[in-house]
Amino acid sequence: MQLVAEQKLAATAAPQLVQIAKMIEATDDELTQLITAESEKNPVLEVDFSVANGNAGESDGEPSGEEGGNPGDDDGALANEPEENDGTPQDDTADGRSDRDPDDDDGEGTIGQNPEKSDYDPLINLRSEKSLTEDLLEQLNMMELTDEELYLARYIVNSLDSKGYLSRDLVDLAEDLELNEMHETTVEALEHVLVDIVQQLEPTGIAARDMRECLLLQLQEKRGTPATILAYNIVDQAFDDYANKRYDRLYKRFDITGTELAAAQRVIHHLVPHPGLQEANAGQIADRADHIRADFYIHRDPTQDDKLIAGLHHGNLPEVRISGDYQQMLERIQQSGSQREDDQKAIRMIRENMSSAEKFISALERRRNTLHDVITVLANLQREFFLSYGDRNELRPMKLQDVADLAHYDVSTISRVSNSKYIDTDFGIIAVKDLFSTGIQSADGAISNEAVKETLRELIEQEDKHAPLSDDALSDRLKERGCPVARRTVAKYREQLGYPSARERKEI
């Protein structure tokens, strides 16, 4: 009997847990659509859109007085180092919390003092154009896909790097889905979604696995002129020779003249090698764009330079509450003592709708509490990065598990937050996922890969262009600066940063 009762309880709880998980991953616009749809189904749920329209960019509530996500601390400043996980067992739920009561939190994510609203510019939350990720997700929503295809396509889009490439292997993605999202799939299914769906999105060349594939995707869409056909064959069959300017091999392999090679070269030069950077820098999708609003903010405290203020932007969402009219109607019927069938039916209907509305509002509170806790931990872990106005040398290595341990949530919950949320900072709006990176060990401790890349960028930019540094020389220079990186790693980072080899960087 006990087993049957537990199974019934799990079956009852599952829909709400799925709903909470969807809410956590949803953007504010998607959540607003979800709230609207729910209010249309449930007349007891009352939605006030004037709150969202009238207070864009503002945050509600009072300062939480929490330090690094640890309640009860009077000082609002972020600590230099967050406290370790105290080993509290985690509940295997959609939001990963074991014992959180929504009524215990006022929902505000402020650390330290709240910024003066009179001095706060709500337009700082808006970007002038859609991010590439948002635009790709919008395109997916317009396609006729199965639930599984849409799920995998969204996961792939959220896995793209800043250049628009899918730099991770499909085997790794399949393992991540199984371990972090508890979603089983196959490499073949991912390959189908990548090639037949995601790589068909705009801009052309998106989600390529390397530059060669990116260029081929663009060449496939061009008119079949002799120059375009030759360009495609060169990229497809002899990309390494072309990239390293071994033109004599190209003449022999394709039996072409210098004029024909020059024509193919002009075609290739008009392609976009990094579609992600092209979209971000040139704003080519601005003509289709709504404004993207940041979900969080992390700013320096204007009264104390060594403190941060972090929280949620609640002004983007409408206010949701139980309708007072239906509550009064229920009370009137109950007080009348009527036993009429219509009145009893009305009582059951109102109670069922009120119960559903209460669960929906509770799920919204769980979402807000979850986001509050996550942004608090993120601000604490990357404190020096935010205090330095985004100096990537100050970005410490951080994994999803690090945040999960400190916030006491499941890794899958942190993944949902990092894949879809943005932070308004003193140096612009950044994606949460950009705060995560692996690192290397040095004599002074762990250094993030992003910090190593930034140092590498500085070395290349400052080198003598008539005698550029080889990868071996760059490796030695990095070691001198406390970044012990092997030559092969230097070559990989250099390519990711978009710099060619030393021979190709040399100026005459």
d(CA 149, CA 147): 6
Alpha-carbon dihedral sign for residues 172, 173, 176, 177: negative
Which pLDDT score, from 0 to 100, does residue 8 have? Answer: 40
pTM summary value: 0.48
Using DSSP bridges, classify how beta strands 445-448 and 439-442 pair: parallel, antiparallel or unpaired: antiparallel
Q: What is the structure's pLDDT at 454?
A: 83
For every one of its 508 residues, what pLDDT tens digit does the chain have, with 9 covering 90 and above?
444 444 443 444 567 778 788 888 887 778 888 888 888 888 888 888 765 544 434 443 333 333 333 333 333 334 333 333 333 334 434 444 444 443 344 333 333 334 444 443 333 333 334 578 888 999 999 999 999 999 999 999 999 988 889 988 899 899 888 887 888 999 999 999 999 999 999 989 999 999 999 999 999 988 778 888 999 999 999 999 898 888 889 999 999 988 888 888 888 888 888 888 765 544 443 333 344 578 899 988 878 778 899 998 866 678 888 887 777 777 777 777 777 777 778 778 888 888 888 888 888 899 999 999 999 999 999 998 888 878 777 888 888 888 999 999 988 888 888 877 889 888 778 888 888 876 666 666 667 777 788 888 889 988 888 889 999 999 888 888 878 888 888 888 888 888 898 888 887 5
Q: Which own/partner contact pairs does 460-467 have at CB distance under 8 Å and 24+ positions apart?
A: 460/494, 460/497, 460/499, 460/505, 463/505, 465/505, 465/506, 465/507, 466/506, 466/507, 466/508, 467/506
Helix (H, G, I), strand (E, B) or coil at 300: strand
| Residue 428 β-bridge partners | 425
Distance of CA 419 to the CA centre of its chain: 3
Residue 315 pLDDT:
61
Q: Tokens standing for 164?
A: 């628009």
Q: What is the pLDDT of residue 275?
A: 85
Rounded alpha-carbon distances, angstroms, from residue 455 to 139, 148, 399, 497: 37, 41, 21, 11
Helix axes 341-381, 324-336, angle to 10 degrees: 140
